[in-house]
A and B are shown apart, each in its own frame.
Chain A
């Protein structure tokens, strides 16, 4: 009998192979986070000894942690995969940032609009994402294969029933499918798999002394000189780590001494706050995920 991790792994590989077989221009959305990292690892397994027959797509906001950029380039090179980096030219021109425009506008223009632009530009008909159903209550009903209109909208009426291991990835011209091979994984499964497979992750997930400032009750790391400091505000060196990674001004750190994967898992088993609490974007409105999904965000 296969263990739960091996069953999840086999299921994800089956999904990845199926999605690629049913699409013409597949791509894997790669955000450099732990879920993306596991997804990339599974894709490499799915097609071994061949390389995954699709490029990685990073929808960049220019505001990620410096370490994430370095990790991203290394990971793509190691997998021997093409890396497409897309930055919304409109956002670049208008210098959209979380401070002047707020987290909601920032995320919408850089990520949601940026993603749509990239999918259109490369005629993508299938995009892998690393979302899991356990992340958020409204995702509990999300399909593994999620159909999007030519306008990238998620229409609840068009979502298809999924039975057995059978997925229907057929699309009309212009339409696309988002495929979530990690749908049935929990945060704990992801970490356990990272440990079992010894997959390298961005070291921001592990505790280290980092310069942080406190904003709205969240610890924000001062990753570069673009973070405006209030008069007299001084970054403090604290032992922190991140449970989720995104744009550094929007990612809250937690104080921690967990400096290994095992420590992180132990801390997680003892922890009492859910993963998404560290994400500033989710605090905007309670139904925000649902709205973002309809607009085309993951």
Chain B
């Protein structure tokens, strides 16, 4: 920077610098991945290190460094002494550097076990994530974890920085192998823009300038990329939104509403609606210290006046009258628990959403997400760093946007009413339909009443096992027996539901989970209707089956493990699927290239190698009698 300005007109240079853009990004990785070296390198190369800092760095490098007599750039960012680090429970370090084209704000998050809340905090304001991997180790569990967390927070633009290329001889095959593996995993997380950059932070290869040690790499160096990338933003038109922070009344003649434009644009003459009241008005002026504006855009902090005397106060949202924000009081939310005191379902917390502060409570989690493998786990509460899907119920209806559409009106804080601590952060997925003015209808005819009429208790009989294990055969036989006994039954068959209810789903892990979730919900409804529901579904993951179990009463779920060894099932292969899978024509086939997790404590364990199908059905029937589903 200095060398360049010497010869140029400083005024011109500064004018140009005033118009620079700003990019906020997050770096994820551990010290072992060379993250500190990478950030240190960026700061160093952008000449943000002053002489006195450099002198300190040289002496620190000799004392604590790992690079012999050379400068250890990592010490620029993690040189804090141990006692300083102590007790800092949430430590996202923010760092700043700029080039002639852009200013950068880096949220630098550590990769150690406190990672979740730090990373979630850092990612909340970032538009791009730089995820580091060590070229020697490739994609690790933590890489997947970091990627999941940044996408959970809405980042859709990801750089995979394949660091330490010097330690793998700058080998193209290695970089490609890692990139492929990563892209295969990341494709499960939805639409992402992924750029893989092989580099060496220690030697500076492909960090600031392209390295001639990797002539095979045709993409940009990291800094070049960061200077030019346009982060992927929510698609579609963005209607105007402005949460009102304060009402300005300097004198009787002026009433202005101040707040940030968090989405869209606004101009005098625009029709707006005040939410939640629903009153409409028209923007009269956009007033600023520097004069009135003809238009304002997302990112600006403004003050507007309206043409009518409508009631507006802090907490309200001004929104486009043609595309207003929705108003609701119950939501399905992603929740990240950030406190050491655990979440208490049903307890009253304060929810801060936009400029609104509303009392609300959180349901028992629908499920918790294992961030290492995205498994869904049953949970009754949440502890520090847990991530879960829950229902949020507010004491009154509030205007909102879905988080995927608008972070600023879809992200919220959960505040403990006694300590005032921020204990969690959450993201609105969707409003629950019953909240739009539909109260939960208390029904007169209860499940028990229906059961009395039917003469048996309702129940889900869940058959799980490999493809070709005999689930459908046994389930069919059982249904015939139950029907003959006068029971009200229904059979939900995995293949059949894919023709109708779930015809939009494929066989990726995400789709399989959704497939099972829908079947489980339908089964629960049918139990409520008083039926004995037979579900025949491979349902390979334990967590999904546990989820299905959690939807009904403990006595109403009967897990049947149809246990046929893989070799036997494959030799039967009634639908020819194993043969196809072996030929590579059926990816993600359970037992071949996708895992089957057998039940640990099934209600019925059918070892099919020693049981005829009729005997198996009889065993299940017996169990239903023992469990009181059928009168004995």
Contacts and interface: CB of A to CB of B under 8 A. Distances in A.
A161 B250 contact: no
B245 A18 contact: yes
A92 interface: no
A4 B254 CA distance: 31
Closest 3 CB pairs of A and B: A4-B22, A163-B124, A50-B250
Contact of A162 (B88, B121, B297, B407): B121
B94 A140 contact: yes
B20 interface: yes
**Majority secondary structure of chain A interface residues (helix, strand, loop or mixed):** helix
Contact of B10 (A164, A262, A272): A262
Interface of A: 1-11, 13-14, 17-18, 20-21, 44-51, 133-134, 137-138, 140-141, 156-166, 168, 170-172, 183-184, 186, 188-189, 192, 195-196, 262, 265-266, 269-274, 277, 286-287, 290
A290 B84 contact: yes
Contacts of A46: 258, 301
Interface stretch (B98-106, B386-394, B444-452): B98-106
A196 B15 CA distance: 9
Interface in B87-127: 87-96, 98, 102-103, 105, 108, 117, 120-121, 124-125
| Chain B: number of interface residues, binned into ranges | 35 or more
13 contacts: A6-B299, A17-B246, A47-B246, A48-B287, A133-B94, A160-B421, A168-B413, A170-B420, A184-B94, A196-B18, A262-B11, A262-B14, A274-B50
B21 A1 contact: yes
Nearest to B303: A48
With most chain A CB atoms within 10 A of its CB, the pick from B92, B103, B108, B299 is B103
A256 B50 CA distance: 18
A82 B262 CA distance: 33
A45 B288 contact: yes
B18 A5 contact: yes
Contact of A158 (B93, B301, B314, B421): B421
B1 interface: yes
A127 B120 CA distance: 28
Given A21-B245, A156-B86, A274-B50, 16 more contacts: A2-B22, A3-B18, A3-B21, A4-B21, A14-B301, A50-B250, A133-B94, A134-B95, A140-B93, A140-B95, A161-B422, A162-B121, A184-B94, A195-B14, A195-B18, A269-B5
A192 B17 contact: yes
Nearest to B49: A274
Given A4-B102, A14-B245, A46-B301, A156 B88 contact: yes
Nearest to A142: B94
B498 to A, nearest CB: 39
Contacts of B124: 163-164
A174 B80 CA distance: 32
With most chain A CB atoms within 10 A of its CB, the pick from B10, B22, B79, B300 is B22
Interface of B: 1-2, 5-6, 10-11, 14, 17-22, 50-53, 79-81, 83-84, 86-96, 98, 102-103, 105, 108, 117, 120-121, 124-125, 245-246, 248-250, 254, 256, 258-260, 262, 287-290, 297, 299-301, 303, 314, 338, 350, 352, 355, 407-408, 411-413, 415, 420-422, 425
B2 A269 contact: yes
B420 A141 contact: no
Given A3-B21, A17-B259, A18-B355, A277 B89 contact: no
Contacts of B411: 163-164, 166
Contacts of B11: 262
A265 to B, nearest CB: 6
B297 A2 contact: yes
A3 B14 contact: no
Contacts of A11: 301
A32 to B, nearest CB: 21
A164 B125 contact: yes
A138 B94 CA distance: 11
A133 B287 contact: no
Contact of A20 (B80, B90, B246): B246
Contacts of B90: 159-161
B52 A277 contact: yes
Contact of B287 (A7, A49, A184): A49
Given A163-B124, A271-B50, A273-B50, A3 B88 contact: no
